[in-house]
Amino acid sequence: MLGQSHAILGATAVGSALMVTGTNIVDHPITFIFGLTIGTLAALLPDIDSPHNTFRKSLGLNTSKAFRDLTRWRKRNFLQLTIDLIQIWIALILDFVDKFMPHRGPTHWGATAGFFTLGAYWFCTTFSLPDPLWIAFGVGYFSHLLGDGVTKQGVKFLAPAHDKFIRLLPKFLCVRTGSFGEKIMLSFLVSLILGWMFWMLIG
């Protein structure tokens, strides 16, 4: 799925999970908003291994463009040059990550999601932060695996124990990343999650 789809799916899943577990926006607005922010960022986190990830795009980090800018150094002022150098530095680090972490590799494993969620739990307990924050992180991260799990490629949920791509739906129902089908799938998942939330709150 595309970054924006993951953000929408993550925000919906996190917001609904917070409401259902008693952190509603009316009684706990601050915790709710912090949780929603953390959860939405967590939903984008697994794609840090993608060469076209949202972080890189929003920072305008393209290694070859950064180098091109630098070759025109005579026309650039000191501030621009400093920014160019910082960009190249971060872009090179991300390139390094790309090289050693194949897309939909370890950051997309169920075990990694579980491990990070436990880490978030430990962090919140140690620093006496409210529980909804680690719950939001976990729901956000797992929502990413759900979103990629309904694409044709699938996700290696059970790796490293079972190193195979797994789809959560039969192949003909799965969508291609960035396609119109992805928008329909996203609308369907969002409706499903919102329906579940209302059912839980009213029931």
Cα atoms found within 13 Å of the Cα of residue 132, Cβ hemisphere only:
22
Tell me the closest approach of the beta carbon of residue 160 to Zn ion, in angstroms: 18
Instruction: Write each residue from 122 to 151 as x if it is in contact with Zn ion (CB under 5 A), else as -, in one continuous string.
Output: --------------------------x---
Those residues whose C-beta lies under 8 Å from the C-beta of residue 177, and which sit 6 or more positions away, are: 1, 2, 151, 153
Assess 182 for contact with Zn ion (CB under 5 A): no
Q: Report the residue number, 46 or 132, with the smaller CB distance to Zn ion.
A: 46
Tell me the closest approach of the beta carbon of residue 190 to Zn ion, in angstroms: 18
Q: Report the residue number, 47 or 69, with the smaller CB distance to Zn ion.
A: 47
Assess 98 for contact with Zn ion (CB under 5 A): no
* Near Zn ion in 17-46, by CB under 5 A: 46
Out of 12, 18, 47, 182, name the contact with Zn ion by CB under 5 A: 47
Give the phi and the psi of residue 157 in degrees, each rounded to 5: -55, -45
Q: Which residues in this chain contact Zn ion in the complex, by CB under 5 A?
A: 46-47, 148
